[in-house]
Amino acid sequence: MSENEDPIWTRWSPRAVRALSASTIVAAVFVWWLVTSQGWVRPLFLPGPGRVVQTLGDLATHGFAGSTLWQHTLASLGRVFTAFGVAVFLAVPTGVLMSISEPVKGVFDPIIEFYRPLPPLAYLPLVIIWLGIGESAKIVLIFLAVFAPIVLNTRAGVHAVPREQVLAAASLGASRWQLVRHVLLPAALPEILTGLRVGIGFGWTTLVAAEMVAAESGLGFMVLNAKDFLATDVVISGILVIGAIAYAFDLFLRRVEERLVPWKGQ
């Protein structure tokens, strides 16, 4: 084995990986087209790609359930990213404090670990009882799904900071705040960014549950409403839009990660 050869990972160039990803998407669409065009699955259960593309155009121009596709998308984006922003603002400091303060850990750890495995539908009735059926209930439901993974990843990242770095900075006279600001947060940034990626994924996963709460617009609401009319093409269109937005934001966070923490994995 040569000196630079990796014993475990197979290394490809980024261009080759992107080409493979594009080929995978093309192959999946081809299989989808083949299955539907040959009549192996009834259109009621799985409409073809052409039909779904046509439906996307109709949704963008004529809308569904009283709103266009753009209005549904903006409503969902507002809910998800409002909850995500509040979660980031609160979860990162909470994760740091849980790592450096045993009392804070004692307060938050049982609460987070108790509700984290629960599916959102389990505590959805309680959220409705407490907050009603307005926008706040939807945002809180998504917030709870996003908050826990960001806290846990932040705490793991701070725990992974080598103690020698902290002691070295403290020996140079760094205050507690300076240690957090200039040592702990930069060193924990890779795990924090991973937590953001996981958290936003949970946020989109919870969207449909959140929009069950007396929503009048939103991608999750559109999917649920279309289900009642057996409009499978609308259901698939909504799923594709949700997945595309979530994937695009994940790619954005990957680029941020590459820019801010290029040393990760080295």
What are the boundaries of each domain within the chain? 54-260
Nearest residue to 95 (alpha-carbon basis) of 153, 136, 176: 153
* Closest by Cα among 19, 20, 11, 51 to 35: 51
Q: Specify the pLDDT at position 233.
A: 94
Task: Name which CATH class applies to 54-260.
Answer: mainly alpha
pLDDT, position 136: 92
CA distance 69 to 244: 14
CA distance 37 to 69: 26
Q: Look at residue 86 in the predicted model and tell me its pLDDT.
A: 97
- Rounded Cα distance between 239 and 88, Å, is 25
Say what the pTM is.
Answer: 0.86
Mean pLDDT by groups of 10 residues along the chain of 266 residues: 58 84 94 94 92 95 92 94 96 93 93 91 90 91 95 92 83 82 88 93 89 87 91 94 92 88 68
Please state, in angstroms and rounded to a whole number, the distance separating the CA atoms of residues 177 and 20.
Answer: 45
Report the pLDDT value the prediction gives residue 139, as an integer from 0 to 100: 94
pLDDT of res. 215 = 85
pLDDT value for 265: 58
Q: Cα 102 from chain centroid?
A: 29
Per-residue pLDDT, 92: 95
